[in-house]
Amino acid sequence: MNPDIEDVIADVRPGIQADGGDVELVGVDESTGVVTVRLSGACVGCPSSTLTMKFGVERIMKDRVPWVTSVQQVEIDQHPDWAMS
């Protein structure tokens, strides 16, 4: 995995955990700039999780890692085909 991406996840994690949730890095597709994460805990099913993703995790990720184009969320039992490579 990309250390810059992992650093951003580590930085945003405490805020998400403070609300009873968590965020896990699932995969990074450097060719498209897409970072995939999984929210868990209180974030699952929370109506605010979309806002957390777009205005929290994605905004910070794009600010700190210029080649990132988007951050996408997968469900607990999902993972993109490329995430494990």
Q: The whole model's pTM is what? A: 0.82
17-61 pLDDT, tens digit per residue, is 998 999 999 999 999 999 999 999 888 888 888 888 888 899 999
Is 60 exceeded by the pLDDT of residue 7?
A: yes
Provide mean pLDDT across the span 55-72: 94
Domain 3-74 classification at class level: alpha beta
- pLDDT number for residue 42: 87
Q: Residue 77 to residues 15, 39, 40, 73, 80: CA-CA distances in angstroms?
A: 24, 11, 11, 12, 10
